Amino acid sequence: MLGLDPVLLLMLLAVVIGLVYSAVRIVQEYERGVIFRLGRLVGAKGPGLFLIIPYVDRMVKVGLRVVALDVPTQEAITKDNVTLRVNAVVYYRVVDAASAVVNVEDYRHATWQIAQTSLRNVIGQSELDDLLAERERINVRLQEIIDEATEPWGIKVSVVEVKDVELPDNMKRAMARQAEAERERRSKIIMAEGEFQAAQRLANAATVIATSPGAMQLRYLQTLSEISVEQNSTVLFPIPINLLEFLSAPRVPSGGGAVPPVAEPQLGAGEDN
C-alpha cells in the first residue's frame, strides 16, 4: 500500500494507538482528575471520559469519598495532671481536588499528623471528669480544630470520635472507691428520708387517733382481722377501751356529791375482845 514498508506501517500504527491511549482518560464518579499543562494548573475534570494532550498534560486523580482515618493511641496529660492514653477516628473527604494537590504535598499524611497533635492539645486543655462525662463536647472541639487546619487543603472534616480512654490502674481504683462512696452516701440519704417520712406519717396517725377515740377501736378490730388469718394464732380479747374509761371515771351519786373511795380493811396482828 503506497509503497510503505509493512514494518514501518506497523510502527506508525503502534505510535498512533499509543498516542490515543495516552490521550484518553476515564474518571470515575467518585474521582476528579486534576490536569497540569506544562506544569501549570488547568483545573479538575470528571467524571467521565475526556482527552488530554499526550506528553504535555499530566493528570492526577483525587478521590472524593469519605475516608476513615484511624488516629493511633496517644499518651497525653490532662489539665488536672492525669496521664492517660487515648485514640480517635477522623472522617474526612476532599471537597476541592485542585487545592488537595496544589496546596499540600500529601493531604492524607498531613491530615493524619494534624489529627494527632490536635488530639493531644485538646486532651491537655480538658480535665479528666470533662473527658469522661462530656465526650460529645470534646469530639465537637476536635472536629472544629482539625477542620479549620485542613480547610486550605480542600479537606472537609465531618466527624471526629474519641474511641477509647485508657486510665492508669491507680486512677481506676480511686474512681471505683469514689463511686462506691457515692452510692453509699445516696443509700444513707434515701434511708434517712424514708425514716423521716415514716415518722411523719406515724405522728399524723397518732394525732388522728387522739382526736377521734373511735379510730383506735377500728384499728383494734382491723388488727384482729389480720392476725386471725394465721391458724396457729391465739387471740386475747382485752376489756374494751370504753369500759376502762367508764371504770376510771369518778362516780357521782344522785345527791350530787362524789362517792368517797372505800377504805380497804387493814389486817393487824390481832383483835381485842
Over residues 89-113, the pLDDT tens digits come to 999 999 999 999 999 999 999 999 9
| Highest mean pLDDT (candidates 4-8, 76-80, 209-213) | 76-80
Q: Please report the pLDDT score of residue 265 as a whole number.
A: 47
Predicted model pTM: 0.62
Judged against a pLDDT cut of 80, whether residue 220 lies above it is answered with no
Query: Are residue 47 and residue 123 in the same domain, yes or no?
Result: no
Confirm whether 189 is domain-assigned: no
* CATH number of 162's domain: 3.30.479.30
191-208 burial, b if ≥16 CB within 10 A, otherwise e?
A: eeeeeeeeeeeeeeeeee
Judged against a pLDDT cut of 90, whether residue 160 lies above it is answered with yes
Average pLDDT over residues 152-177: 84
Judged against a pLDDT cut of 60, whether residue 2 lies above it is answered with no
**What is the torsion angle, in degrees rounded to the nearest 10, for the CA atoms of residue 98, residue 102, residue 108 and residue 114?**
-120
Judged against a pLDDT cut of 70, whether residue 132 lies above it is answered with yes
* CB 91, CB 34: distance < 8 Å: no
Q: Please report the pLDDT score of residue 60 as a whole number.
A: 92
Band (152; pLDDT cuts 50, 70, 90): very high
What's the rounded Cα separation, in Å, for the pair 137 and 131? 9
Q: Helices (DSSP H) in 86-168: which residue ranges?
A: 97-102, 107-124, 128-133, 135-150
Band (168; pLDDT cuts 50, 70, 90): confident
Average pLDDT over residues 179-187: 82
Burial class (CB in 10 A: 0-12, 13-18, 19+), 118: buried
Helix and strand totals (H; E) in the chain: 8, 8
The last residue of one of the domains, among 16, 32, 63, is 63
Confirm whether 100 is domain-assigned: yes
C-alpha cell at 77: 496529660
Average pLDDT over residues 25-31: 90
Confirm whether 18 is domain-assigned: yes
The last residue of one of the domains, among 126, 148, 167, is 167
Cβ contacts of 125 within 8 Å, gap of 6 or more: 79
**Domain limits at 10?**
6-63
Structural domains in the chain (count): 2
Q: Please report the pLDDT score of residue 244 as a whole number.
A: 53
Tell me what the pLDDT averaged over the chain comes to.
80
Judged against a pLDDT cut of 60, whether residue 19 lies above it is answered with yes
Phi, psi of 14 (to 5 degrees): -65, -40
Q: What's the pLDDT tens digit per position in 30-42?
A: 999 999 999 899 9
Confirm whether 129 is domain-assigned: yes
Confirm whether 212 is domain-assigned: no
Q: Please report the pLDDT score of residue 268 as a whole number.
A: 42
Judged against a pLDDT cut of 60, whether residue 249 lies above it is answered with no
Judged against a pLDDT cut of 70, whether residue 12 lies above it is answered with yes
Higher-confidence position of 115 and 22 = 115
Confirm whether 260 is domain-assigned: no
